[in-house]
Amino acid sequence: MSGARTVAIIGAGPVGLAAAAHVLERGLEPIVLEAGGTVGHAMRRWGHVQLFSPWEYNIDKAAARLLAATGWNSPEPHQYPTGAEMVERYLEPLANIAALKPRIRTSTHVTGISRTGFDKLKTKGRETAPFEIRYQNGKGPETVKADAVIDASGTWHSPNPAGANGLPAIGETEAADRIAYGMPDVLGKDRARYAGKTVAVLGAGHSAIGTLTDLAKLAAEIPETRPVWLLRGNDPAKAFGGGANDKLAARGELGAAFAALVTAGRIKVESEFCVSHLFVDGPRLIVGAIAGCSARRAQVDELIVATGFRPDLDLVRELRIRLDPAIECPIALAPLIDPNEHSCGTVRPHGARELAQDEPGFYFAGMKSYGRAPTFLMLTGYEQVRSIAADIAGDRAAAERVELELPETGVCSRPLGPDASNCCGGPALSDVDACCVADEKAKQQGKTGCGCAS
Ligand SMILES: Cc1cc2nc3c(=O)[nH]c(=O)nc-3n(C[C@H](O)[C@H](O)[C@H](O)COP(=O)(O)OP(=O)(O)OC[C@H]3O[C@@H](n4cnc5c(N)ncnc54)[C@H](O)[C@@H]3O)c2cc1C
């Protein structure tokens, strides 16, 4: 990519803004295009949620260097911010830096990316044609050109539906006013909607257990509130996480506190509940599950769907993109993050090599780069964009270098041996497709699958 000058970055979330800082440091010209009216638009939607990673893991190094030059007071590294604090204390000051501010366009919704004069079919010379990024900003379609593109547009705006088969459940659209997606603020601005109600939460990830924990707190204040946990799997304990083994203590504690609420019977649990249909019956919302699991119903007032997110791939339709068919992430990344293969959520750091596409100069980064996989950490995204910016600038050595060691989740189905104080014995050293030492050894012995799975 040497010779590239202008880099379009889609999304002004933490990873998009970090990308802009790295691109700037490389002497290149970033243009950040953000659909929302402000930076951190998606993060503001979950502003009430406390992060499970402390400040020391949430700030990109190039961004910190830019901020330090302005006299910015960096937050206490061991404290845990909320999403709103992340925006207020980090993303907004970063976006207001003189070098970045004029290069960020908000209320700019990217609708498509192509190459000037080249539709997807045409090959000869396409690698040197600039990218054309089409966007809407309320004035009709506009276009900006760039030599490289980093798509850091996240997945927040495309949540998975309730249907266990990945399609919207029958009746889901019609029952929309009784359904919320993601993490509504049940103790704050959405309190009136949920207080005193029977509220089902569908899902088994951090968002689901965080919301259920908050609903249990609401029930302690308003006893008529009844939290119901609907999960597709048959083992609720799988959602409890790594507990004390989790190197991110707050993430471990969240799971442990949730386990205690379930054990105490403060959350009703409906496992093996595969939602197939929904309908409103008088004052109640009926959530129906069928075959594959048992056929049964939950009668509730409200449903919160927290079944994860998927990438919006419409905007890259005209580019030559190869994605893993299941995870919808770059092919080389899939073996590192496939939740079917990895019992432990620890993911090796990676960069431009894994994220590059057949379309030279185009990269996915951040939450979107993980497709449907749920294990993304901001720290991973910061390492991604450091490596991508180096790649675009033509610094291959820096692009290849790994400059990050990630905290482990402590979630592993493999029993720990006497010498293994860490989950799976720590991150793998050499094999790029291995998530940990156990996996690396297994792969070196020619075994397939994840070596850390029991
Ligand atoms: C509730 C919750 C808690 C989390 N907690 C943690 C945590 O504790 N620690 C951690 O490391 N990670 C955490 N994560 C995961 C992840 O790090 C965050 O989601 C993080 O915000 C991802 O950053 P991002 O920049 O990739 O995407 P986002 O923050 O989602 O930013 C993407 C931006 O792109 C914009 N956009 C989308 N589409 C377009 C378009 N077509 N055109 C222009 N702009 C567009 C969006 O409006 C948004 O502002 C959490 C995630 C969630 C949902």
Q: Which residues contact 265 (CB under 8 A, 6 or more apart)?
A: none
- pLDDT for res 54: 93
Q: What atom of ligand 1 comes closest to residue 156's alpha carbon?
A: 30
- Digit-coded pLDDT (tens) for 156-169: 999 999 999 999 99
Q: Is residue 432 predicted with pLDDT exceeding 70? A: no
The model's pTM:
0.90
The answer to whether the CB of 276 falls within 8 A of the CB of 294 is: no
- pLDDT for res 243: 64
- Digit-coded pLDDT (tens) for 272-292: 999 999 999 999 999 999 755
**Cβ of 46 below 6 Å from ligand 1:** yes
**Cβ of 16 below 6 Å from ligand 1:** yes
* Least-confidence region, from 40-54, 105-119, 418-432: 418-432
Distance 325 CA to ligand 1 centre (A): 22
pLDDT bracket for residue 352 (50, 70, 90): very high
394-406: average pLDDT = 85
Nearest Cα residue to atom 41 of ligand 1? 110
Q: Is residue 411 predicted with pLDDT exceeding 50? A: no
- Please report how the helices 378-392 and 14-25 are oriented relative to each other, as an axis angle in degrees rounded to 10: 30
Q: How far apart are CA 399 and CA 421, in angstroms?
A: 31
Distance 297 CA to ligand 1 centre (A): 34
Candidates 111, 183, 378: which one to mutate for ligand 1, based on the most atoms within 8 Å of Cβ?
378
pLDDT bracket for residue 344 (50, 70, 90): low
pLDDT bracket for residue 416 (50, 70, 90): very low
- pLDDT for res 228: 97
Q: What is the mean pLDDT of the chain?
A: 89
- pLDDT for res 2: 54
450-454: average pLDDT = 50
118-122, 244-248, 449-453: which is most confident: 118-122
Distance 379 CA to ligand 1 centre (A): 12
What share of the chain has pLDDT > 70, as a percent? Answer: 85
pLDDT bracket for residue 244 (50, 70, 90): low
Q: What atom of ligand 1 comes closest to residue 50's alpha carbon?
A: 8
Phi and psi torsions of 207, nearest 5°: -65, -45
**Cβ of 404 below 6 Å from ligand 1:** no
376-384: average pLDDT = 93
- Digit-coded pLDDT (tens) for 7-53: 999 999 999 999 999 999 999 999 999 999 999 999 999 999 999 89
- pLDDT for res 252: 72
- pLDDT for res 291: 57
**Cβ of 203 below 6 Å from ligand 1:** no
Q: Is residue 418 predicted with pLDDT exceeding 60? A: no
**Cβ of 52 below 6 Å from ligand 1:** yes
Amino acid letter at 392?
A: I
Distance 253 CA to ligand 1 centre (A): 23
Distance 378 CA to ligand 1 centre (A): 9
Burial grade of 88 (CB within 10 A; 0-12, 13-18, 19 or more): middle
- Digit-coded pLDDT (tens) for 77-100: 999 999 999 999 999 999 999 999
Distance 102 CA to ligand 1 centre (A): 22
Distance 47 CA to ligand 1 centre (A): 11
Q: What atom of ligand 1 comes closest to residue 46's alpha carbon?
A: 1
Nearest Cα residue to atom 12 of ligand 1? 377
**Cβ of 410 below 6 Å from ligand 1:** no
pLDDT bracket for residue 412 (50, 70, 90): very low
- pLDDT for res 450: 56
What share of the chain has pLDDT > 90, as a percent? Answer: 74
Distance 210 CA to ligand 1 centre (A): 17
- pLDDT for res 436: 60
Q: What atom of ligand 1 comes closest to residue 379's alpha carbon?
A: 11
Q: How far apart are CA 303 and CA 291, in angstroms?
A: 21
Distance 40 CA to ligand 1 centre (A): 8
Q: Is residue 108 predicted with pLDDT exceeding 80? A: yes
Please give the torsion angle defined by the CA atoms of residues 213, 218, 224 and 225, in that order, rounded to the nearest 10 degrees: -40
Q: Is residue 417 predicted with pLDDT exceeding 70? A: no
Q: Which residues contact 358 (CB under 8 A, 6 or more apart)?
A: 320, 321, 322
**Cβ of 47 below 6 Å from ligand 1:** no
Q: How far apart are CA 232 and CA 146, in angstroms?
A: 44
- Digit-coded pLDDT (tens) for 55-65: 999 999 999 99
Q: Which residues contact 56 (CB under 8 A, 6 or more apart)?
A: 77, 78
